[in-house]
Each structure stands twice: as structure tokens, then as C-alpha cells.
Amino acid sequence: MSRELQIIGVTSELGAGTRGASLGLDAMQIASLQIDRSFFLRHAEVRLETVNHRLYEETEMAYAKRLDGIAEMYSRIENSVSSTLKQNQFPVVVAGDHSSAGGTIAGIKKAYPNKRLGVIWVDAHADLHSPYTSPSGNVHGMPLATAIHEDNLECQNNQPEQETIWHWNVMKGSNQRVLPEDIVFIGVRSTEVPEESLLEKYDIPNHTVEEVREKGIDVVCTESLDYLKDCDILYLSFDVDSMDPSVSRGTGTPVDGGFSEPEALSILQNLLKDPRFCCFEIVEINPLLDDKGNAMAEAAFRIFKPVYEQLEAQEKA
């Protein structure tokens, strides 16, 4: 049975350390005017209400800043993604900061509680911190930890407040939504010791940029999908900081040594050929940090449009 695609706009940026990621979808829509003017008329988004007004308030949760608001967004994203899937639609999430991904994963599992979910994370960062380990307290570095229900107390550096712990436990849910052995990283190159300990503990594969170039994109994508052969459904999360800053610095935490725009597009298109994918997400476009006008959003849209059209064709086939 064919499925329609549904763009879900999550213009939240509470989890980032810099401001502007909430403008990512708008920036990509502006970019579309030069590339495909009617794209977002043909493919309208459902845009979730945010609580970004909390940015104007002081946060007392030093080790997971504004976690109360982010927990509220988790719930909204979870319900939206779950509802979209239950209506036999394919959610394409365009989000601000990467904390959104924890809510997306929660929504997939809410819709498919008995299916084994695999995650492919195309990113410069592992995003496996918790309030107990985060050096910054920025929650966009924590979504995968909520998904695998991991506090990483073995590497504890912080003593979170009780309110932080309460919200964190709510966001983690009652059990693991994703098994650590059902995660594949592609392009991760900036991690801290607590994250590295989890990568080693769970033997999570990370296909580095160098490995992708040495082996070839087709080979790495095939290996990644084969690694997740026991998963019933798959979710692909694409952080634009997986690309090199030479593309643009219009993202919250750029890291040298990333993919080119054509490489990123090829990786996504190769992976998404697998019919087990049920959700795609793109995050962390920040036009306020761009040093080349709206270059990151333009690159993101040049990637997003063919990926969307490929998914659309596959879902109608």
C-alpha cells in the first residue's frame, strides 16, 4: 500500500547552545525560491507549536538546559510522528536543534511498539550524553541517550538537580526504544570521553568520513544496512554538520573534515532505498551562523528536494 509523505516542521531550538536553529525551515523555504519555487506549495508542512519563548527566561537546570521545555516538545513530536505513521503517512521531519530526534524516535516506537527499530545517524557528533555527563548542558547532545535509556553513570561528571532528573526520566520512557546494537554512525568525528566509552561498551560502528571515501559510499551504505538486518523498521537522522564547514558554517557546532554536499546526498539516497525506512529527519540548519548568506539552507534544500522526491516515488511505487 502506498504512503503519502508528510513534512513535520519542528522549529524548536531549546536544546542548542547558539540561537537561530528555529529558523532552519524558513531558511530552507527561502532557498527553495531559487531552486524550486513551488516545492513547499506542493508539499506543505504541519508545523508544531513550540515553547521557544522559554529562551527569554533563565534556566536553573545547568546540566540539561531548559529540559522542561524540551520534554514538552518531546511529547508533541512523539504524538505528531506517531499520528502521522498511524495514518499511513511517511513523516519527513525538518527540525531545529537535534534534541528533536529523541521525540521522533519516541513517536516511531509509539506507533510501532512491537517492531525492532534501527537508527542510522549521519552527524559529526554522537549525541550520547546525558545530564550526568554533558560538558555543556545542551540537550541537542543527548537525544540518542534517551533512545537507548542510558544515563552513563560510569562516566558521571555532574550532579543534576532533582527537577532535571525527573524530566530526563520522563523523556527516556519506561524502557529502551532502541537497542545500542541497532545504531550505526556515519561521519561522527567529534566526541567526548563519556560518549567514547559508550561507543566502546556497545561496540557501535562509526563509519568515518575517511572510511566512507576509502571504501566508497555504496559499500558503506550496504554494510550499514546489513548490520541492521535484524531490524524491522529504520529511521535516518541527518545533521547538516555532518558536512564540512567549507559547505557553510551555518550550523550550531561545525566540525572540520566532514562530507561534501554531493557525498551527503549520495549517502542519504543510497540508504533510503531500503524499504524498511519509515521516517527521515534533517536538523541543525542555522542561518544566523552562516558566513555565506543562506548557503547552508541552500545546500540543505539541494539535498532535501531529491531525497524527498526519491522517497515520494518509492512510496507510490
How confident is the model at residue 317, as a pLDDT?
83
pLDDT in tens, 277-309: 999 999 999 999 999 999 999 999 999 999 999
Residues 16-62 have pLDDT tens digits of 999 999 999 999 999 999 999 999 999 999 999 999 999 999 988 99
Is 149 catalytic? The answer is: no
The closest alpha carbon to 277, from 307, 240, 305, belongs to 307
Output the nine-digit C-alpha cell for 260. Answer: 561534501
Residue 218 designated active-site? no
Which residue do the cell numbers 509509539 mark? 110
Residue with the bigger pLDDT between 1 and 235: it is 235
Question: What is this structure's pTM?
Answer: 0.98
User: What are the C-alpha distances in Å from 259 to residues 118, 124, 209, 256, 271?
Assistant: 23, 10, 7, 9, 15
CB neighbour list of residue 44: distance below 8 Å, 6 or more residues apart: 7
233 DSSP β-pair partners: 117
Rounded distance between C-alpha atoms, residue 264 and residue 186, angstroms: 10
- Could you give the CA distance from residue 131 to residue 142 in angstroms, rounded to a whole number? 8
Q: What are the residue ranges of helices labelled H in 36-121?
A: 39-42, 67-86, 100-111
123 is catalytic: yes
- For residue 262, count other CB atoms closer than 10 A to its CB: 11
- Using CA atoms, how far apart are residues 304 and 162, in angstroms rounded to an integer? 40
Interatomic CA distance for residues 296 and 290, integer angstroms = 7
**Quick count: other Cβ atoms within 10 Å of Cβ 105?**
28
Smallest CA-to-CA distance from 10 within 75, 87, 62, 88 is with 75
Is 1 a residue whose pLDDT tops 70? no
pLDDT digits (tens, 9 = 90+) for 266-285: 999 999 999 999 999 999 99
In this prediction, residue 2 carries a pLDDT of 83
Whether 239 is a known active-site residue: answer: yes
Three-class SS of residue 93?
strand
Task: Find the length of the chain.
Answer: 317
CA pair distance 5, 90, nearest whole angstrom = 5
The whole-number average pLDDT for the span 68-91 is 98
Predicted local distance difference test score (pLDDT) of residue 26: 98
What whole-number distance in Å separates Cα of residue 202 and Cα of residue 16? 27
Mean pLDDT (the chain) is: 97
Cell of 8: 513535520
CA distance 145 to 74: 14
Reduce the DSSP state of residue 126 to 3 states and report it.
coil
Q: What pLDDT is recorded for position 60?
A: 87
> Which of these is catalytic: 13, 150, 241, 263?
241
**Domain 4-316 grouped into CATH 3.30.450.20:** no
CA 48 to chain centre: 16
The residue type found at 147 is A
List pLDDT tens digits, range 211-266: 999 999 999 999 999 999 999 999 999 999 999 999 999 999 999 999 999 999 99
Type of residue found at 13? E
207 is a catalytic site residue: no
By C-alpha distance, which of 308, 281, 275 is closest to 2? 275
pLDDT tens string 107-119: 999 999 999 999 9
| CA distances, 223 to each of 2, 201, 219, 264 (Å) | 27, 21, 6, 17
284 is catalytic: yes
To which residue does cell 539552507 refer? 297
Of 13, 284, 290, 298, the active-site residue reads 284
